[in-house]
């Protein structure tokens, strides 16, 4: 398993600007609670799923099953 940043630097820049503006909370979510703090609970749970491969909700991170 490997976690990497999205290769699209425009998406990375946009999401990072949103994270900065929202104090580290996912810019794609309305609520500001610990579940939405980057890296969000949803993606942390997806990481633990051995069968999940894909992007987090805001597409900043990607979990790959291969190294």
What are the percentages of helix, strand and coil residues in the chain, rounded to 5? 35, 20, 45
> Any idea which residue has 């425009």 for tokens?
10
pLDDT at 67: 64
**Per-residue pLDDT, 24:** 96
Range with the largest mean pLDDT of 9-13, 24-28, 31-35: 9-13
Predicted confidence (pLDDT) at residue 6 exceeds the cutoff of 90:
yes
Q: Using only C-alpha atoms, what is the Rg of the chain?
A: 12
Number of domains within the chain: 1
* Contact between 42 and 57 (Cβ < 8 Å): yes
Domain carrying residue 22: 2-64
Contacts of 15 (CB under 8 A, 6+ apart): 6, 27, 28, 58, 59, 60
């Amino acid at each position: 398993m490997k976690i990497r940043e999205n290769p699209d630097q425009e998406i990375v820049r946009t999401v990072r600007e949103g994270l900065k503006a929202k104090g580290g909370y996912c810019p794609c979510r309305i609520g500001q609670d610990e579940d939405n703090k980057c890296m969000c609970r949803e993606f942390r749970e997806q990481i633990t799923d051995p069968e999940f491969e894909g992007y987090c909700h805001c597409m900043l991170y990607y979990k790959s099953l291969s190294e």
